[in-house]
Amino acid sequence: MFSPPIRISQGHLNLLETCFRKYQHIYLDRLASPIEPNQQESLAWGSQFHLLMQQRELGLPVQILLQGNAELDRSVSSLVQAAPDVVNLEGSDEREAEHPRTLTWGRYLLVAIYDLLIIRGDRAQIFDWKTHRQPPKRGLAGNWQTRLYPFILAETSDFTPEQISLTYWFVGSSPQSLKFGYNTIQHEQTRNDLTHLLTQLQEASDRYQTDHIPFPQVPRAKNICSLCEFAARCQRIPENKEKIKTFNFPVSLDSIEEVPL
């Protein structure tokens, strides 16, 4: 029977690297907890910003999206001022907003969507708008987005890794950027790491589907379970919390007489 390929994004890869069991809970058991209102608000703001930048790239009017949203207006104006060579629509660059790319990898389909792709001469520049209030200070170099986005482009185009770059723009009232170059050594390292991670995923998925063996849990020593929403389900509640729970029962439950109904 034909099974469609399983889509794997940078988000899936980051999650797998954090904890395979968490991937199982969210994507196979569909147990993700609902998004909190403040996260929802931030996601909605991010979507509006991305939509607006896409409309702008297509030369469509954006005023309607800006009406009544002074913060969005300010953020776009600040970005235009801070990155004129990126947002300038005139010139001979080839450019496309929300550019999708896919790469087949065995039973998986690696997917990326570039917020903006600019081809300038013999260079391919990927841009990503980050709409978090606080730009992450560390860890972006090892993040799967930074690794997967250039990897897919190098595998699906004539550009060599050295001709590709990825720049994050952290938007807001004072936009900041962080640019990552790319090279053949990083490309081959990413290929090896993808092979390793997706082989592990394939084996864990087969065990889960045929023998109902759960995905492996992250080692306790990594100390990340106490912050995870699945800690109770995984029986990884920190010991001091267990003690508090137990302490709430001053008498043995066995000693309480059953009340007839």
- Cα 136 to its chain centre, rounded Å, is 13
| Min separation Cβ 240 and ligand SF4, Å | 16
- For residue 61, what are the contacts with CB-CB under 8 A and spacing of at least 6? 55
Query: What is the end-to-end Cα distance of the chain in Å, rounded?
Result: 54
- For residue 141, what are the contacts with CB-CB under 8 A and spacing of at least 6? 180
| Min separation Cβ 19 and ligand SF4, Å | 3
Contact between 168 and 178 (Cβ < 8 Å): yes
56 binds ligand SF4 (CB under 6 A): no
Contact between 22 and 228 (Cβ < 8 Å): yes
156 binds ligand SF4 (CB under 6 A): no
22 binds ligand SF4 (CB under 6 A): yes
CB closer to ligand SF4 out of 1 and 221: 221
> Can you give the C-alpha Rg of the chain in angstroms?
23
CB closer to ligand SF4 out of 16 and 52: 16
Distance, in Å, from the CA atom of 256 to the CA atom of 261, rounded to the nearest integer, reads 15
Burial classification of residue 34, based on how many CB atoms lie within 10 Å of its CB (0-12 exposed, 13-18 middle, 19 or more buried): exposed
- In this chain, which of 8, 13, 21, 75 binds ligand SF4, going by CB under 6 A? 21
| Min separation Cβ 167 and ligand SF4, Å | 31
CB closer to ligand SF4 out of 12 and 130: 12
CB closer to ligand SF4 out of 34 and 59: 34
Per-residue mark of binding to ligand SF4, 199-238 (x: CB under 6 A): ------------------xx-----xx--x-xx--x-x--
| Min separation Cβ 106 and ligand SF4, Å | 25
CB closer to ligand SF4 out of 143 and 157: 143
- In this chain, which of 8, 19, 116, 204 binds ligand SF4, going by CB under 6 A? 19
Distance, in Å, from the CA atom of 154 to the CA atom of 135, rounded to the nearest integer, reads 27
- Site residues, ligand SF4 (CB under 6 A): 19, 21-22, 25, 217-218, 224-225, 228, 230-231, 234, 236
